[in-house]
């Protein structure tokens, strides 16, 4: 398990030096026609989109690894320190962010935390993929809202645009409540509802927003 910058995921993923892509900070909602089981009924938060490709994180798929297991693996704290952590820290949410580099960790979080490696995704949400945010969370200095993700979803140049055009995804503005909500079972339906859509209304012939 590794925490590192986005260079391995999307070379131009940082927002400091380029204009944001039109899908940055948007949700992708898998359509029933989605053939890839990795993405069936998923909601993905897009963090970087450009002519070179795109990357994002599945926000409605559970991860079996717990935060305490992550801390033990990274050897940031000893066992006594882990046991002494507050309950909200021990229960810190971890999601399966996607099928690419599943051993790599990322933290999506509110913008009230920032480090030298933090990358703004939207006006209110940032991404940090270095150990300083894990230490801050353990010390009670972390962001007010955050979730950890292992792995990510990635697309090559033009791939995501083709998938949207072929009715693989709906896209809509993202919601912080859905990104950071800990109840996963209804995120798919809630994301659709934000567009005024229900699963029953979808078919493989429907268009995209």
pLDDT, tens digit, 9 for 90 and up, residues 123-139: 899 999 989 999 999 99
Confidence band (pLDDT; 50, 70, 90) for 8?
Answer: very low
Phi-psi region of 59 (alpha: psi -120 to 50; beta: other; left: phi over 0): alpha
* Measured distance CA(200)–CA(67) in Å, rounded: 36
Torsion of CA 111, 114, 116, 121, to 10 degrees: -10
Mean of pLDDT over the chain: 86
Name the residue among 167, 131, 151 with its Cα closest to residue 62. Answer: 151
Q: Is 79 helix (H, G, I), strand (E, B) or coil?
A: helix
Structure tokens at 136: 């801050």
Phi-psi region of 75 (alpha: psi -120 to 50; beta: other; left: phi over 0): left
What is residue 4's predicted lDDT score, i.e. its pLDDT?
46
* Per-residue pLDDT tens digits for 45-72: 999 999 999 999 999 999 999 999 999 8
Mean pLDDT of all residues in 31-45: 92
> Residues near 77 by Cβ (< 8 Å), separated by ≥ 6?
71, 85, 138
Confidence band (pLDDT; 50, 70, 90) for 39?
Answer: very high
What is residue 2's predicted lDDT score, i.e. its pLDDT?
53
């Amino acid at each position: 398990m590794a925490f590192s910058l986005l260079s391995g995921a999307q070379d131009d993923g940082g927002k400091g030096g380029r204009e944001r892509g039109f899908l940055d900070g948007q949700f992708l909602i898998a359509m029933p026609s989605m053939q890839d089981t990795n993405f069936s009924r998923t909601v993905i938060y897009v963090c970087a989109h450009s002519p070179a490709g795109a990357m994002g994180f599945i926000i409605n798929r559970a991860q079996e690894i717990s935060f305490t297991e992550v801390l033990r693996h990274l050897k940031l704290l000893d066992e006594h320190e882990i046991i002494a952590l507050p309950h909200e820290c021990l229960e810190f949410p971890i999601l399966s962010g996607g099928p690419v580099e599943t051993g790599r960790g990322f933290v999506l979080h509110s913008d009230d935390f920032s480090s030298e490696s933090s990358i703004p995704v939207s006006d209110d949400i940032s991404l940090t993929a270095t150990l300083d945010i894990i230490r801050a969370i353990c010390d009670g200095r972390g962001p007010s809202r955050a979730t950890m993700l292992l792995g990510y979803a990635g697309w090559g140049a033009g791939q995501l645009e083709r998938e949207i055009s072929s009715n693989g995804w709906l896209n809509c503005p993202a919601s912080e409540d859905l990104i950071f909500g800990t109840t996963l079972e209804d995120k798919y339906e809630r994301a659709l509802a934000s567009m005024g859509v229900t699963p029953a209304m979808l078919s493989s012939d429907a268009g995209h927003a």
